[in-house]
Homo-oligomer: A and B are copies of this chain.
Amino acid sequence: MTRERKKIARVSVGVLDEFLGVPIQVLDDGFVRVIDYMGTDSSIVQAARISFGQGTKRVHQDRGLIRHLMRNRHTTPFEMCEIKLHVRVPMDCWRQWIRHRTASVNEYSTRYSVAIDAAQKTAPTEWRFQATGARQGSDGIVPIELGKNLSSKEEALHKYSRDVYIERLNCGVAREQARKDLPLSTYTEAYWKIDLHNLLHFLSLRMDHHAQNEIRAYAEAIGNNIVAHWCPITWEAFLDYRLHAKVLSRIEWNVIDAIVQGDNQFAVRLAEDGGLISYGTHGLKKNREREEFEEKLRRFGIRPPWVTAGNNATSE
């Protein structure tokens, strides 16, 4: 292999250096800011190439190699880049964030110091209705008058909670105990350090439309405003092959095959065996997996064979 064993200089990313330390605002009083980083797109290529040895350099161009790695889930080279962020985030949101176990974390301690004097405020136009149908998530904004009422009561609760907290401190109660009834909306701060592979995994889950709005706002700030500048080729490959990719299950794949072969009856049977189709007293039962499949079929210009004039998927 090539013996690259001479003195080198550190890799740096000019565009990222431009805003190192500058906070990107998220929510009413949160932020993310880049503190430091290691590596960039070229570091991924460098690490991947140690596997391939010399001769293969001619074959792949950098961009093609990175896209190849992303497409085929060769994930280890993406671990060769690392980033360290300083974030300010409501504890409620942080509770979700911290579930990702592959990062290094140092958080502001309310045992050592008085809690940050800020709780996330919800504006009258930001209160969301519970989503119907799904078990989680939200859907639609409440009417403005109700919103005003909720925000005003929120403000009162924040003030009350803070007063109780301060009173405890003034009585000499230990900080570790006084904090126990602070609202989950209280802001905390942390250094959060993670490698690019694990960061992309975090983003694929938290930029998803199933993620809660609040953490999604942080994920989008990190993805679109930071990673897109730090490792632009990787970011584009991530959008193409991960975030905006679609999966076809073995069942879907086989059903499509039967339809294209012209055997609709077999296609329907495969869908039944795969649990996509079942019937209740009012006909075809509602099934989210099938609905998503029908959406894909429409994209391929294929009409689902189980959808007939008098038998549509929305009954029951």
- List residues of chain A with CB under 8 Å of any chain B CB: 1, 4-12, 17, 19-23, 31, 33, 35-39, 43, 46-48, 50-56, 59, 63-64, 67, 71-73, 76-77, 79-80, 82, 84, 86, 90-92, 95, 98-99, 101-102, 104-109, 111-114, 116, 119-120, 122, 127-131, 135-139, 142, 146, 150, 153-154, 157-158, 160-161, 164, 167-169, 171-177, 179-186, 189-191, 193, 195, 205, 210, 212, 239-241, 243-251, 253, 256-257, 259-260, 274-275, 289, 299-302
Given contacts A50-B107, A95-B91, contact A246 B248 (CB under 8 A): yes
Q: What is the bound-complex CA distance between A112 and B49, given in angstroms?
A: 10
Return chain B residues, CB-CB under 8 Å to A186.
184
Given contacts A6-B22, A174-B128, contact A48 B106 (CB under 8 A): yes
Q: What is the bound-complex CA distance between A275 and B62, given in angstroms?
A: 13
Q: What is the bound-complex CA distance between A71 and B309, given in angstroms?
A: 30
| Beta-carbon contact of B249 and A71 below 8 Å | yes
| Beta-carbon contact of A180 and B107 below 8 Å | no
Return chain B residues, CB-CB under 8 Å to A127.
173, 177
Closest B residue by C-beta to A262? B301
Can you give 17 contacting A-B residue pairs, CB < 8 Å?
A: A5-B31, A9-B17, A50-B189, A53-B109, A53-B113, A72-B210, A79-B104, A92-B180, A128-B177, A129-B174, A137-B176, A142-B171, A154-B181, A158-B181, A161-B183, A180-B185, A240-B250
